[in-house]
Amino acid sequence: MHGPQGEITREVFWNILGPGFPTEQVLLYVIALTAFLLFFRGLYKGGFYTRLKLVMKATGTDVDRVNNPLQRFWFAMGDVFGHRKILREPYQGIFHLFIFYGFIALTITTAIVFLQADFIYPIWHVWFMKGGFYLGLKLFANTFGILAIIGILMALYRRYVIKPKWLDEKPEDTIILWFILAILVTGFIIEGLRMQAVEIGPESHMYPYIWYAFGGRIVAYLFSGMSDVSLRATHMVLWWIHVLMAFTFIVYIAYTKLLHIFMTPVNIFLRPDTAQPPIRLMPPEMFECAETFGIHNVEEYSWKDLFDQEACMRCGRCVEVCPAFNTDKPLMPRDVIQNIRTYLEDKAKFVLDADGNYHIVPDEEYTGPALIGDAIEKDTAWSCTTCMACVEACPSYILQFPKLIDLRRYMVMMESDFAPELQTVFKGMENNSNPWSIGAHTRADWAKEIGAPQLSEKGQAEYLFYVGCAGAFDDLNKRVAVALAKLFDAAGLDYAILGTEEGCCGDSAKKIGNEYVYQALAMANIETFKGYNVTKIIALCPHGYNTLKYDYKELGGNFEVYHYTEILDALIKEGKIKIKERISDLGTITYHDSCYLGRYNKVYDQPRDILQAICSTPMVEMASHHAKSFCCGAGGGRMWMEEHLGTRINQKRTEEALASGAKTVCSACPFCLTMISDGIKELGYEEKLQSFDIAELVVKAAGLD
């Protein structure tokens, strides 16, 4: 039944089905066609088409999702096939990689077999399943099939033994893994039966090549005592079971998270081509004519916001890294997306008629579940620190936290539903342009002792030193502002401050959801900057840095913005800041990556380079660092809100700093310095740990303190 060099005849090719195999072939086509028809029916029954109708009725604005299509395509292909994001978590990444490429390899093998048997040979009578190609195909399929089984076993071990607390558990998760394993294992059993029947034994032309199918050869040992008749009968039964399972699996895709096989690549292609996760733009003129602000109806999201839920595979990467979830708060970014998915299906019952047409139902007439309160709890929306860890971790490039900002906007601007302490913050921003509500006339008092130059007196400067509210009003961070001014003076940097003309950047107002206050603050600053022809800005705070660099552009403020660590690093390397004596009395040092400096702006190396240049003491990393850094808890306006739920985020981060073995924690953000300093005090670690801003250490090493 085999020719020389491993050529396989059609009878063996058809898995020893015997002389009646054309009948079985027709039956196979019928089953295949039925499976694909059931797949599309499953998309309807599983709710995909219903959700898609609502997705396409979304009215919210969005950024361009299809510009540079070729670039987007190759990025998506590189991400899908290279597993760039998935492999950031090695264990999960490796088993998914094994399963993914096993699936791809076996699909390719099946397609080649299908083409040979059903098209190429019947039409052109060409048989290429022979020689080196056939042997290579056997080795290819066996290798990746074994890897796929290893991947499934690793996934099962993680689900049943490791069992991370954030892992989502639904019946389909277990069914999927065991289903795939059954398909893979039966495939090898079938191959082993076939090999034992027709290839094992010196009389077979295939005998010298049997180890090319090493998986099947190993399984064949299990059947060495069976008769030829039993082997063929068992093979036939198992082959049909295997085929039916495979086609059933195709149908099952339509009902489960396996649909991400198709949706995730699409979502990666549609990722925002912006420097920051886009938060919905609210043009200034909107405040004059809009009847509502923010989002409280799901159709007010953009179509892409709603499409995200189709790409979510519930992997839990976003939950794993979420600081709110890890301190026992109700926020799980994955569930925000999944709850929107469920809400779309629930709302469809109220807005789709019998013909499938969509009707927007006025608030006063709508009697179904609410988006805010029912689908997504208010405490869930308020727990977010906008640290961007969820967005950074998501392999599907879903934007989780921006959806919560839109809900906050509605609660704040339409319902005045926010924490009582924020009332003082908003009044302070409106009346004194700072959240502490300290008199605006004292904003430049920190600079009096060193005589920092002011633009009102100097006229112009190469750099505007944007101090921000913390550097101007907070006693802990005034030291940082003073240190930076001394360093700029020593380096001969052409800079100036705005003094009392400087206003709050508005970051906290924007992330809390008070877009009106944010834009008022931002427009005032932009007007002032333009009045002095400011082109370059050095920001003390990463939140101000990020806001001035990106958000102000939406309002016409285009400036070249730097964080102070970028400037200090350059000045030290250029020799303009001279280090007189490297610091040696701080013990082991660790650096805390600010979310807005690190994940938002990828500034990781400069702060570390500075510390290595000025300190002789060793430096260690915390368990969570760089892109995986753990938030201090102050972002998203949480700096001004009490933590009533769970444990304090800043304390968890402080514990992590202590666990690293460090004696000193350095940061480059006023919020982070405040939160970690408070964490040290709250936990009573004053004798074990101390915190500094990097600028304070540089000024000391330069002998300027």
What are the tens digits of pLDDT across the range 26-74?
888 899 999 999 999 999 888 898 888 889 888 898 999 999 999 999 9
Whether 22 has a pLDDT exceeding 70, the answer reads no
Any idea which of 14-18, 50-54, 191-195, 620-624 has the lowest mean pLDDT?
14-18
Task: Please state, in angstroms and rounded to a whole number, the distance separating the CA atoms of residues 220 and 252.
Answer: 31
Exposure string over 197-216, b if 16+ CB within 10 A, otherwise e? bbbbeeebebeebbebbebb
Task: Please state, in angstroms and rounded to a whole number, the distance separating the CA atoms of residues 507 and 511.
Answer: 6
Residue 406: its pLDDT value, please? 96
Cβ(150)–Cβ(142) below 8 Å: no
Task: Please state, in angstroms and rounded to a whole number, the distance separating the CA atoms of residues 428 and 583.
Answer: 39
Which tens digits make up the pLDDT trace of 377-405?
Answer: 999 999 999 999 999 999 999 999 999 99
User: Rounded to the nearest 10 degrees, how much is the dihedral formed by the CA atoms of 331, 339, 629, 271?
Assistant: -150
- Determine the average pLDDT of the residues in 241-262: 94
Q: Which amino acid appears at position 325 of this protein?
A: F
Exposure string over 124-158, b if 16+ CB within 10 A, otherwise e? eeebebbeeebbebbbbbbebbbbbbebbebbeeb
Residue 5: its pLDDT value, please? 38
Domains of the chain, earliest start first: 4-8+80-237 (no CATH), 286-413 (1.10.1060), 430-573 (3.40.50), 589-701 (3.40.50)
Any idea which of 8-22, 95-109, 192-206 has the lowest mean pLDDT?
8-22
Rounded to 10°, the helix 48-55/21-45 angle is: 40
Q: What are phi and psi of 590, to 5 degrees?
A: -125, 155
Whether 17 has a pLDDT exceeding 70, the answer reads no
- Determine the average pLDDT of the residues in 492-511: 96
Q: Is the pTM of this model over 0.85?
A: yes
Which tens digits make up the pLDDT trace of 139-193?
Answer: 999 999 999 999 999 999 999 999 998 898 889 999 999 999 999 999 999 999 9
- Measured in Å, how far apart are the chain's first and last C-alpha atoms? 89
